Amino acid sequence: MAKPADPEGPTGKLCTWIEGVTLQDIPETLCTRAKYLILDGLACALVGAHLPWSEKAVDAILELESPGLASVFGWEKKISPLSAALLNSTFIQGFELDDWHSDAPLHSNSIILPALFAATEQISNLKSGHTVSGKDLLLGTIVGYEVGPRVGLALYGGHILTMGWHSGAVFGPSAAAASVSKLLKLPANSIEDALGIACTQACGLMSAQYESDVKRMQHGFAARNGLLAALLARKGYIGIKKVYERPYGGFLAQFGKGNGQTPEYRTDEIAKDLGMIWQTTGIRVKPYAAMAGTHCTIDCIKALQERNPEQLKDLGGINSIKIELSEAAYHHGGWEAQRPLTSTGAQMSNAFVAATQLVDGQVLAAQFRHDCLDRDGIWALVNKTTCEFNQDFPKLQTRVKIHFTGGKPTLQHTMECPRGVDPPLSNDQVLEKWRLLTRDVIEPARAAEIEDLILNLEKCSDVMAINTLMAGTTKNPIT
């Protein structure tokens, strides 16, 4: 066994675990949950493939590249594995429908799945007769699910959002590199190289959330860069050793600098409780098409609508709305929304999603069509809404207060966490979401075939079958 630079350090312990872990080491219930999580990620990719901003990205990349080996989901096009990973991730992140980790916020599927599927096609096309099994895909996915949140927890999870970093784009290259390294069966010293190459490419500015298209693509940078890192390490390219614990220029030292925490970073989280506590259990599936930090707001208003249907029919009688948020949610989604707003900004804004829930009674894909973003009724409520940081609120806790004119009583509701967090959506609910999302974008027989392959991954002898099905054309869900 080729050992990492310091086998007893956090980076070394992580690399040794990645090399040695097998499916037999992972609880059966966790393997089952991972298959449903993968299915959710693929649903998001199919929905996102032909959104307007996704089509712009595809057009730009296709102009740059000749045909290649790796599939672009929903397009019947093949390009280089690196660009396929970038685009397929952009699709998964395309409409704020994808998974998130409740303790160390990143969207794991948009980082891990595109890198793994692109690597699968690279392996299958360059090695005649070589196939990647569903078991290998499942194991590589779970490795990424475990690594990404641990890197995030070493930087205090969601706190990095308050510093203006896009957390998943920072934590994500490590997750993608770990997943692909496992798929490629790299030894521990090469895994260390891959992580070091991945970490030096990490970045993501959270100001992307306001009006840019590039917010959709930032997890794609992580997927592409992690894939590149593993492929370079496979050929013996040497990366940064001990990348997490280096005090000068190390990953944690640099991203933790000036964050106000004591200590600024926690190296012990990198390899903490590997194989005993499973971070995959912290991955949540979204019931709404909006940033996770808005979900408690949506649920608070839903609760008030259910309890006070008559009073909340009179939206014109609302005098003001106050939304109290925890620190990360406030910095991420408590900013003042101004008209006009793009769909990206709308899905990030607590004020906008609150108004949307009040007007439409739901916050799904249809609410963020271009023609829905400039409605007078929505903006009348947005302009009456203020968001405030409540320093006593832990993590996701939110309180909504709605004040009325004419002496009507104030309505108020507080929630510690939104639907889908505690408890998480069940496997049956994830399957229901898959079927709902795919119903209008691909033909039923194709959806059923993908579903069967993913939920029986251990029996799949060649993952290329999934790539082929995912590469077929899809419809735009919001036209």
Rounded distance between C-alpha atoms, residue 202 and residue 111, angstroms: 12
Q: Is the model's pLDDT at 1 over the cut of 70? A: no
> What pLDDT, on the 0 to 100 scale, is given for residue 125?
80
Q: What is the pLDDT of residues 333-374, one digit of tens each?
A: 999 999 999 999 999 999 999 999 999 999 988 899 888 999
- Which whole number is the average pLDDT over 192-200? 98
Of the candidates 119, 182, 177, 49, the residue with the CA atom closest to the CA atom of residue 464: 119
Rounded distance between C-alpha atoms, residue 90 and residue 88, angstroms: 5
Q: Enumerate the CATH 1.10.4100.10 domain ranges in the chain, comma separated.
A: 10-287+425-470
> What pLDDT, on the 0 to 100 scale, is given for residue 130?
83
Burial 297-334, CB ≥16 within 10 A → b, else e: bbbbbbebbeeeeebbeeeeebeebbbbbbbbbbbbbb
> Of the ranges 10-14, 20-24, 376-380, 473-477, which one carries the lowest mean pLDDT score?
473-477
Share of the chain above pLDDT 70, in %: 99
Structure tokens at 280: 């995959």
Residue listed under structure tokens 């009325």: 404
- Which whole number is the average pLDDT over 179-190? 98
* CB 37, CB 109: distance < 8 Å: yes
Q: What is the pLDDT of residues 232-267, one digit of tens each?
A: 999 999 999 999 999 999 999 999 999 999 999 999
Q: Is the model's pLDDT at 479 over the cut of 80? A: no
Q: Is the model's pLDDT at 126 over the cut of 90? A: no
- Which whole number is the average pLDDT over 106-118? 98
Structure tokens at 28: 């059966």
Name the band, by pLDDT with cuts 50, 70 and 90, for residue 408.
very high
* CATH architecture, domain 292-415: 2-Layer Sandwich (3.30)
Q: Is the model's pLDDT at 127 over the cut of 80? A: no
Length of the chain (residues) = 479
Rounded distance between C-alpha atoms, residue 333 and residue 356, angstroms: 15
Residue listed under structure tokens 């590469």: 471
Cβ neighbour number for residue 479 with a 10 Å cutoff: 8
> What pLDDT, on the 0 to 100 scale, is given for residue 81?
97
Q: What is the pLDDT of residues 259-294, one digit of tens each?
A: 999 999 999 999 999 999 999 999 999 999 999 999
Of the candidates 111, 131, 110, 112, the residue with the CA atom closest to the CA atom of residue 121: 131
Provide the mean pLDDT of the chain. 96
Q: Is the model's pLDDT at 383 over the cut of 70? A: yes
Please report, for residues 152, 172, 367, the alpha-carbon distance to residue 199 in angstroms, rounded to integers and kept in the order given.
Answer: 12, 9, 37
Radius of gyration (C-alpha) of the chain in whole angstroms: 22
Rounded distance between C-alpha atoms, residue 145 and residue 397, angstroms: 25
Share of the chain above pLDDT 90, in %: 94
Q: State the fold for domain 10-287+425-470.
A: 2-methylcitrate dehydratase PrpD (1.10.4100)
- Which whole number is the average pLDDT over 114-124? 95
> What pLDDT, on the 0 to 100 scale, is given for residue 128?
64
- Which whole number is the average pLDDT over 426-435? 97
* CB 18, CB 126: distance < 8 Å: no
